[in-house]
Each structure stands twice: as C-alpha cells, then as structure tokens.
Structure 1
C-alpha cells in the first residue's frame, strides 16, 4: 500500500463530461480523462483492504458484490498511484480480456463494494482501469500474441459479443484454431449494435478485433448459424462449438394497438441508428427516425436510457420514459447495506440530457402502457397509460404492481421504443443444435458448468445465464473457454 493516508488526503475525482446541450450534437464519447497526475492520486485513495470486497465477485442478497472477473483491484490501484503503468496493465490483463469495454460501459460493481464507499466515496476504480488500458494501447504494450504452438483442435464460436470474443481470445491463445461466426455485418454483437457509440466508440471494438485477427482468430460475418449455416455442418467441421449468441429475444408489450406503425423494440432501433452512422462514417445521422417526434420509451434500465440519449441526438420533440417500479431511494436503506449492490436512484447520461433539454427528468415511475392509440393511417399517435401501486397477492404473498383505478392518462406518441428487457435466447439456434432450454428459455447447462445437453456443444454469456452485464459475459466466456480446453486436452492452464 503505497499511500496509507491517500483516502483521507484526496477526494474522489472522475473525468469531466461535456455539457449535455453540447454533447447531444454528436454521437461520440464525451468524457475528458483526468491528467496522469490526477489519475495517480485517485489510485492513492485505495485502502488496500485486508478483505477486498471490490474484487470478490460473490453473490450477496441475490446480487453480485464486487468484480465478477476478480480483477486484482487493490494491486492495480496501487500501481497506478506508483506510476508503474506497464505493471498495472499486466496485472489487469491477467484476469481481464477487454478492459477497454468494461471501463466504458460497466456499472462498476467493484466501486459499489469499495470499503471507502461505506463512509464516504468509493475509489474511482473504473476510471483507473480505463486509464491503464488506454495508456497500454498508447505505449504499444497491447500486442498481438499468436500462440507459438497449435494444438490442431478446432473450435467454433457462435456469436461475437463479449462472451464469444472472450472465449475466442482465450482458446486461440491456448493454441486451438478458433472461428467466430457472426450473423451481422460487423463483429461485436451487443457491443456493436446494442450499445450506442457515445458510450462505446466502435473504433474501440475494431482496434481489439484487429488484434485478435493478427493472433489467428478467424471471423465469418453475415453467417446466421441455425438458419443459413446448419448445426450439423459446424459439428462436422469443428471439435467443439460454443453458443454465445446472446439473449436477444425481446420482451413484448401485449396491449391493444400493438400492431400500430412506429413501435419498435429498443435494440432494433439502436441497431438501425448505429448501422446508419457507420455506413456514412458519422456524417449523416438518421434524423428521420426521431426528428420532431414525441417519443415514449418503455423501460427504465440502461437500454431505455440509451434510447433517450439517442433520440435526443436525432432531434426528438419530447421524450417520456415509463418505469413500472417505484422511484428508488436516494441513499441506501437499512435492508440494503454495504457491500450489497446499492438499490438507489441513478441518473444516467440520457436522463441528464433530457433534463437539460426539457427542464425535467423524463422518467415517470409506477406507470405502464394500457393501450397504443392509432391514427387513420395506422400510425401510433398516442399512448394510454395507467398508474401502478404495489400490492401483496393474497394467494402467493408476493408483491406485484397492480393498476390504480381511474388513473389513466393519454400522452402523445409518434415513436414508441420498447426497452422492457429480454426473455432469453432466440429459439432457432437452440433448436438447430437440439440443446435443452431452462425455465427462462436460456440454453440449459448444469450449474457452474458450460457443456449443454448435446455432447461437444457448450454455451456461455447471456445465452446461458440470461440478460446480464458485459462484465458477466466476459467472465462466462473465459470460464467456457476453460471448460472447452479441458474437454479437448484433458486439463487446462487457462486462467
């Protein structure tokens, strides 16, 4: 511990964000990193706890506490303080495949479990991580590492999201021949088309893909396994197959008027925007999708927030974000103690921007859709909403959100984006391979194992565990790679 009094001497400081009214004029990342010296001070704030919950990644109260990848957080923070950036990168890379992704989009489970946060502000570990990996790229420390010896074993990875990429990287470095199949026109999966560019620049993904290709990973694009490419073909040509195709089956809103035009699933909308931006090299944003429209976003999570930020950049006339659940408290309640994940109110970039544009937070709590109202040409023109309140079910004893009588309202809506989550993996891939599904329609494997009910076929990421965080997908990919490697070689030395 290089600075025992660092957490007393220095206040938490994070990168400065461009002002909301300025950043909504573009689709690029908008945080300005701290100087190297200021970042070192943030590393000095780490207390090097005897029990570092920040790196535990364990489940407490049904929620993850600390980093699921078990990053060596106190070590890397201390190395940042000492200015030993190269060693900090080596420590980080020993447990983490893609720090450049999580340091941009992760909700920072490590910080939520930081001991400094028990009675003050947590260490800015997420930004320290970003500083480390960007310094490493800048200095040329992140290099292609093709394996010196090939095993001759071949592995197919279906899906190039964070789980698929992590599994591919690990197995390739072990010496296996890895081919990644992606049904879209560019690799990245959720990272590419599910996360807007202002949160994760697509050049960051391209930078990593290029390195993986130099290491020997092969990417096959526009390849829809289970539809255009048969499962039998992969099982014939490869020794093992990993299904890392995500949980991309969106949750539907079944109310009258759902067939109206102008209602889209959030990920479809976000994908369309990103594809248009990439196709025009960001010169021609697809303003026609939202300009001058009254937008209603259904869902209060990260994807809903991304929709808010995106439509603002496309010139929306108004934005309302509907959230079924009650508004969270501003600070922890007694039944949500540290180091549990804090169930508190969080205002993300999209909501900040909407407040700057319209003068108020776009979120409306304890509200859901009762009906979509169509105009003469079948286009959605209004949304009828109803207020909700928590009620205890007399039979089950469980609390559910029930409609409040006579609380209906009608709000204008020219564009509706459904960001209500996902129900599991799309069934055609599982059906093609004959793998079993669990109760939540995810690909079933035994607990803590990654092989499916079909020999030689493994599953990882959201396809196996359901909708989750990028950091969990990376952990799943790494652990699936270990399981595949052990099944091929009889042992594994993958971390």
Structure 2
C-alpha cells in the first residue's frame, strides 16, 4: 500500500487495507489472538528474513528493509483493530440467508470450536455449542495471561458468532449414554440433566472440540505425596485460570481497597497463593513462561523470602544459523524466551536445563524433589568444538542421545509449591471421547482433541488447531451432513483484485484493475 505520508491515509490506501482485511478474514476469521499473543513461528521461519549485507529496502514492500521477516503478527494485530474500528467484521459475520435442517452440536468453545461454528453458520447449519466453564473461549480465556491478551476480544468474537445464529450454553457438561444413544447435558450450577440429542439423528453431527489434556506428573513421581499435601502440586492451567480471574475482577473493580484485594487473592488462589513461597516450576515451554510472567509481575513485588526454580527438560535454547530456516524447523531463541529469562533473573530465580524430577516426597510440611540432571553424549567434545556445537543445535531434542553414564541426581529441599507446566497431551482418554469412539459417522474430533501419535495431527499452537478444524469441517463434516450444494459459501469463489500498474505509481495510476475469480482450492486436490 506504499508509505503513509504525513500520518494521512489516502482513499486508495484505505481500499488496499480493507482488501487485505478481507483476505485475512477469509483465511482466518479470529485474528485477535494471533495478532496479540501468538509466538509467531511463521515470522521466525520467513525466508524474507535472510540477511542482505547491503541493508537495502524494498519499495514494493513499503520500504521494508531486505533481510527482515514479514511482520505477520503486527499486520494481523493492526488489521484486527482497524477492522474492529471501521466495522469491517460485519460483512463476514452475517447470518446465512438459507437456514438448513441440519444441526451441529459442538462440545467445547476453544479456537477449533469457534472455527467450525463460523464455517457451519455461514453454510446455514444450526449450531449449538456447550461449554463446561462459566466463560467461552477455552485456553484463550483461561490459559493465556490477561496482560498478554485482552479477554474482551474473545467476548466480541462470540458476540459476532451469536449474531450469525450461534446458541451458546455455558456451565454445561455433555455425556453420552451408550445404551440409549442419548446425549445428556448436565448443568454444573444446579445439577439438572437434560437430553439434548441422540446418535440416531442423521441431521445432527456432534463435534468434540474438548482440547488437549494438561500433562501431569506420573503416579510414580508423586507416590510419596499423601492426600494432605496434594494441594502443594499445582497444575499450571489451574493457576493461570485463577490468576486471570483475579485480573478480570481487578479490571472491573479498580477501586478495591487493599483489604478487598487481599480477600480476592485468597478466594481465587487458595492454597495456590505463590507469595513468600519457595516454588519450583517444572517445564520450559509457553505454559511455563506464562506462569513465570504472573509470578514475577504480580506476586513478587511483595515477596520478601520466596524463591523460584525453573526446571526445563530440554536444553538451553540457542540462536540458529541462516540455513536453519523454512522449510527446516526453527529452534531460535524467541523474544518470549528472552523475556522469561529476564524476569526469572529479576526475581532472583534460576533456570536449569536437561533436568526432570524423578521423585516428589513429603519432608515435614514441605516437599523434597529428587531431580535427574542429564548430558548428551560427547557433551565435552561438542562444547569445545564450535562447528560440532552448531551441528548439535540443529538436531531436534528428541533425536539427541543422552549419556546415561553422566546422569546425576540432586535434591531440592523445603519446596512449598510445585507447578506442573509440562504442556499438553491428546484427550483420547476423556470419557466423552471414549464413549463415542464407535460413532464414526456422527461424531468428529477436531483441534487438539484429535491429536494423537497415530493421526499425526498434534497441532502444537492455537492457529494450527484452527486450521485443522477448518480442514475437518470442509473435508469431512460437510460431506457427512450432505452439504453438496455448490452455491454454499464454502464453495463460492474468492474475488482477488490484481493491479496492472507499476508499483512506483500504483496509487496515482490505479484506474485499471482486473478482477479474477479464483475458486477456493480443496485440500484433497493437493
């Protein structure tokens, strides 16, 4: 769109911005998260980031310096707020003119559920969504810190979906009666139970978007912790939800007195209150980073005697060479990693790598953690050889060989709280998933719920869960519902505008344009 001069956007530039917004929403309608909080691995792997020693700029890309990646995250964030201000979302989130006698029941309300609801509603399918929590959004709502991502964006996304016709039921738990084939909805607040569907209904399809299960310590590790001390071992997601609830309450009532704030903290956190405690966070990924962020920013200013130890199972992240870019998997030291390390240092904490707990036992009123410290084979030789170290850094962690002879055990004593931030695993063991395994034609798993070693569908990040859900809807659910109408919105061509003038004067001479209709490609065609 060229360079904005004198802080004035021309009519032609507004047109290009709206065009860019339309293309973006067509690809992914929920861009608030990806613009605000996504770690943006796409930028890290962008081939535009290959350095140019001349340091020149590209007029075709708005004077962007050659050698810097396309700032996709910033672009999405800007487009989201521009579209939000200008009302551009309305054209995409509008109710279908043809409501079909087809229904989808979605269990869960996270990113995958939102994506499927959006595409189904555009098709004219009736969609009802059930969420166990008191707010929709899944991990977007509970798992991501409030200071990293404004929750009002999620509320706005659901308001748009409701305008399209979505029926959302919160505080509800869905179960399946394998004998009668009935789906039951239990209201968590009052305990009432209602039949909401039956597996014999050929006009209804059930989509399980129940997300991924937080990975827990094995029973072998925690067998030394009795029931009286189990509350000292905390799941990261539980802590994040409580912290987000506190942030939401403080935002709604900023004038709370110190006594009222203290009461709020105790009510929401209970035994998870991290103040003035020796805490061990086990994990080195995004979830662990978010935990550390809460602790360092919100609880440690008043922490006189607490300490923080971070145990990461993987090696310390390192920078990568130019050749470790797309299509290779990037293992760069991201901005998130750097920020985490800075915050751990700020609160006088420490991080250890290639460490994992083997035992957690009770010692008095506190915990003792036995940890195993590992080294990769030929560690000393590799550390002293720069070329060998560079090659080692390119090998994925799971493919590196550990030297069993150099494994050392240590103890961390007088621990008052352990936070398990070991990431997530597939939800194949969830009761509802297990109960409906035989219903191949009327039930579909989507997003992280469908991730497994067998399917190879583990999504890793939220935007991938959305993409997987879109693929599942277009290539499976639509067929099972019998949606073969070629005039359906999913099969309508996207109109792409191509300028035929040179980039140097594209806005001055933009009078002649070609509109080319390009059918949306089907994933099966590739």
Q: TM-score, normalised by structure 2?
A: 0.69
SS at match of 2:88: coil
Bigger Rg, structure 1 or 2: 2
Change (3 A) 1:80 1:406: farther
- 1:83-122 per-residue CA deviation (whole Å, 9 max, x = no partner) reads 7322211111111120111112322233123222122331
Matched, 1:319 2:304: no
Change (3 A) 1:162 1:406: closer
Which deviates more from structure 2 when the two are superposed, residues 136-145 or residues 171-180? 136-145
Change (3 A) 1:39 1:116: farther
2:477 pairs with one of 477, 484, 492: 484
Distance 1:37 1:408 in 2: 61
Distance 1:327 1:218 in 2: 46
SS at match of 2:89: coil
User: Which residue of the partner structure matches residue 234 of structure 1?
Assistant: 197
Matched, 1:341 2:341: no
User: Which residue of the partner structure matches residue 296 of structure 1?
Assistant: 280
Distance 1:338 1:456 in 2: 38
- 1:146-198 per-residue CA deviation (whole Å, 9 max, x = no partner) reads 11110121110111000001000110111010001111111001111121112
User: Which residue of the partner structure matches residue 169 of structure 1?
Assistant: 118
Change (3 A) 1:401 1:39: farther
- 1:441-462 per-residue CA deviation (whole Å, 9 max, x = no partner) reads xxxxxxxxxxxx6211111100
The Cα shift of 1:480 comes to: 2.2
Distance 2:112 2:12 in 1: 28
Distance 1:208 1:402 in 2: 51
The Cα shift of 1:210 comes to: 0.9
Distance 1:172 1:226 in 2: 24
User: Which residue of the partner structure matches residue 129 of structure 2?
Assistant: 180
- 1:309-358 per-residue CA deviation (whole Å, 9 max, x = no partner) reads 11221235322211112213222386x34442311223527515524623
SS at match of 1:386: strand
The Cα shift of 1:410 comes to: 2.2
Mapping of residues 17-416 of structure 1, within 5 Å: 84-119=16-51, 120-143=67-90, 144-226=93-175, 230=184, 233-236=196-199, 239-253=204-218, 254-256=220-222, 257-259=224-226, 260-261=229-230, 262-279=232-249, 281=252, 283=254, 284=261, 286=265, 289-312=273-296, 313-315=298-300, 317-332=306-321, 336-348=324-336, 351-352=340-341, 354-355=343-344, 357-358=346-347, 362-377=350-365, 379-380=366-367, 382-391=368-377, 399-400=401-402, 402=404, 404-416=406-418
Q: Which runs of 5+ in 2 are unaligned?
A: 52-66, 178-182, 186-194, 255-260, 379-397, 452-457, 491-519, 521-526
Distance 1:455 1:471 in 2: 27
User: Which residue of the partner structure matches residue 497 of structure 2?
Assistant: none
The Cα shift of 1:227 comes to: 7.1
The Cα shift of 1:209 comes to: 0.8
Change (3 A) 1:248 1:401: farther
Q: Which runs of 5+ in 1 are unaligned?
A: 7-35, 42-78, 436-452
Change (3 A) 1:174 1:40: farther
Q: TM-score, normalised by structure 1?
A: 0.73
Change (3 A) 1:131 1:153: same
Residue-pair matches, total: 402
Q: Is the 8 A contact 2:319 2:332 kept in 1?
A: yes
Q: Is the 8 A contact 1:306 1:350 kept in 2?
A: no
User: Which residue of the partner structure matches residue 427 of structure 1?
Assistant: 430
Which deviates more from structure 2 when the two are superposed, residues 475-484 or residues 232-241? 232-241
Distance 1:296 1:344 in 2: 25
Distance 2:331 2:265 in 1: 36
Distance 2:172 2:319 in 1: 46
Distance 1:429 1:279 in 2: 33
Q: Is the 8 A contact 1:388 1:403 kept in 2?
A: no
Distance 1:165 1:39 in 2: 36
Q: Is the 8 A contact 2:225 2:362 kept in 1?
A: no
The Cα shift of 1:400 comes to: 4.3
CA RMSD of aligned residues (A): 3.3
The Cα shift of 1:269 comes to: 1.6
Distance 2:281 2:12 in 1: 40
Distance 1:227 1:38 in 2: 62
Change (3 A) 1:401 1:308: farther
